[in-house]
Amino acid sequence: MEEVSSNQLNEAQYKAVHHRGGPLLVLAGAGSGKTRVITERIGALVERDVPEDAITAVTFTNKAAREMRERLEKRLGEDKVKRLRICTFHALGLMIIREHAKLVGRRARMSIFAVPEQKSAMRSVLADLKLPTDGDQVDRVLQKVSMLKSGMSQAQDNAITVIADKYDALLQKMNAVDFDDCIVLPLRILTDDAEARALWQSRCRHFLVDEYQDSSRMQYDFVRLLAPGNANLTVVGDDDQSIYGWRGAEIKNLFQLERDYPTLEVIKLEENYRSTGSILQGSNSLIAHNSERLGKTLRSNLGLGKKIRVWQAETADEEAERVTAEIRAQRAGNKLGWDDFCVLYRASFRARAFEMAMREAGVPYHVSGGMSFFDRAEIQDLLAYLKLVGNFSDDLALMRAISRPRRGIGSKALEVLGQFAHEKQCSLLEAALEDDFTHSKAHVLRAFAKMLVDIEHVFLHGEADDAFDMLLDESGLEEAIRTEAEDEDEAERRMGNIMSLRRWWLRHSESGGDLSSFLQHVYLAADEQDDEPDGQVRLMTVHAAKGLEFSHVFVVGMEAGTFPHKNALEENRLEEERRLMYVAMTRARHRLTLSFAKSQKKFGQVEKMGPSPFLKEIDADVLNWVDKDSGSEEDKAESKAEVDAHMAAMREMLGLD
């Protein structure tokens, strides 16, 4: 994905790729060929006959892991790459938990609780304690519990500690783990159990960590346990691109490395192969306002190129229309594809205006993130069944599954069943199977439970497609979808989603995976279903854009209060917002446009907005403020900018500056 002007590695890249053993820190600026260095390094290790099983590379996103894998497949072939451990932090953590489940009170085939499940679990904990259970309260408590679990905050609040313990106990009872557990539990396993530690250290004899600036303290502890002392640890990161502080990422980890690894070698990659000189100069001048830096200046390998445009619009709708029109014009004029364009915004609600404008103009677009495949009701329903088949202890999955399709079981009956299960110390599903469970709906519950036992049998011993089809049929899910849909089209669409999950499952099953590993994969790799949309303009948040690059980038919503976001300012995170802006700008290869709307609709009310202070921090020499309705002036300004740029390049070449 990153374009590299030459196939040869530059000196710094070469040193990083061929570094022989011992801890290594690669400080890699935006567009400096970071991914290439990691993949080439792994390739070199394999070609040096390091066993694949001794190599582990962790990333923060599935996208990054997938890309690394794809690149290596080209170089090493599928067989070798299959044996390499290339995955996200969370997936690695889950592998460890699965292998040593007993040590943390779990059984194999555990469920993963993503946000909706976490909420339900927390809601039931709060209800038990007679505390308020409105969504707001649940969110707040969950966040505090998460902070406590991941060591970000000390236990100052006793109530939270009690809640956290109850919540953890509930998850354990349901044989489930949440996202935090994927890091916390392995940490416990590796700390407490010397044998497990030795095993995983041997699997991480060559340990590589990507996007290290986004690691939390726990993740760093995790790294140190897996790669202690003088290990062959390679971490790659960029202090200027640390944008997950709100999720516990600590740039400090980058500085701390030198203390924890005295033999650490540091290599800086400062050659940028991506952006034009103006874009880089603008980005550099912005980030120079930060004080919390290691200090690094990117050098461009391309010409100065065009100036960074700044646009102002009256309203957000007008902004969207203007950007859309410009994309159409540029594409036509420069024989570019739709996917050479990207619109970036600070907050996802900004996407809406662009979606409407592009739909109106017939511009094909794709919104990354947002309503995902997994948020659809039919997928959630199906996943509930699958989870229950895979883990009978998952009471939450049972509650969802049993109410779709409707079986006349509601909160009343479930409460009685829950009471009974509590007395018997078993799961809801097991309770329903007990002969001495009596209730007016007992036969319905029992039939439901028996059906799941039958389905499980086929999943364990039968063919993957038979099992899936049996589930669809016997559960009544397919029928429910077909009868409840408004029209034929909707039914087809929903069944299409079901079928695409089916294909995914078959593919997984063919490569030897079971239901439980399928579900874990699905839950940790939610973005993977988003098939890379070719030939569409990409709309996404700045966070989602990290690691990507586009020929033409529009950073929209450049208003004071939205970017930098005012909540972030209140929380003292101006520098992080600036890094975010830096990430946004450095996505662009040839053309960067920053735009803002002078007014915004908020809850139906119109509010005046001012330009982002970041606009003043960017070197004015590379900015070109372009007014609306002045296309010709824009051209003039552009050509003047080009002349200026050309002159500057000449001066530089002659060494006159």
Q: What are the residues binding DNA (CB under 7 A)?
A: 60-62, 88-90, 114-115, 133-136, 138, 179, 246-247, 346-349, 369, 403, 406-413, 524, 526-527, 541, 543-544, 565, 567-568, 571, 601-604
Min CB(67)–DNA separation in Å: 14
- In one letter, which amino acid is 200? W
- d(CA 471, CA 458) in angstroms, rounded, equals 9
Nearer to DNA, 493 or 565 (CB): 565
CB-count burial class (<10 Å; 0-12, 13-18, 19+) for 510: exposed
The secondary element (H helix, E strand) that includes residue 431 is helix 428-433
- d(CA 574, CA 131) in angstroms, rounded, equals 36
Q: Under DSSP, is residue 298 helix (H, G, I), strand (E, B) or coil?
A: coil
Residue 35 a catalytic site member = yes
- d(CA 123, CA 329) in angstroms, rounded, equals 51
Residue 407 a catalytic site member = no
What is the greatest pairwise CA distance in the chain? Answer: 93
Min CB(127)–DNA separation in Å: 11
Min CB(538)–DNA separation in Å: 13
- In one letter, which amino acid is 242? S
Q: Where are the beta strands (DSSP E) in 411-549?
A: 537-541
Chain centroid, CA 281 distance in Å: 29
Min CB(140)–DNA separation in Å: 10
- d(CA 454, CA 502) in angstroms, rounded, equals 19
Nearer to DNA, 22 or 369 (CB): 369
The closest alpha carbon to 516, from 508, 528, 507, belongs to 508
Min CB(229)–DNA separation in Å: 27
Dihedral class, residue 209 (left if φ above 0, else alpha if ψ from -120 to 50, else beta): beta
Nearer to DNA, 482 or 565 (CB): 565
Nearer to DNA, 181 or 456 (CB): 181
**Phi first, then psi: what are they for 601, rounded to 5°?**
-90, 125
Task: Choose, from 13, 241, 562, 593, the residue flagged as catalytic.
Answer: 241
Task: Choose, from 40, 181, 211, 378, the residue flagged as catalytic.
Answer: 211
CB atoms within 10 A of CB 539: 26
Residue 34 a catalytic site member = yes
Residue 241 a catalytic site member = yes
Q: Under DSSP, is residue 328 helix (H, G, I), strand (E, B) or coil?
A: helix
Nearer to DNA, 24 or 581 (CB): 581
Nearer to DNA, 41 or 63 (CB): 63
The secondary element (H helix, E strand) that includes residue 633 is helix 631-654
Min CB(647)–DNA separation in Å: 40
Residue 210 a catalytic site member = yes
Residues with catalytic roles: 34-35, 210-211, 241, 587
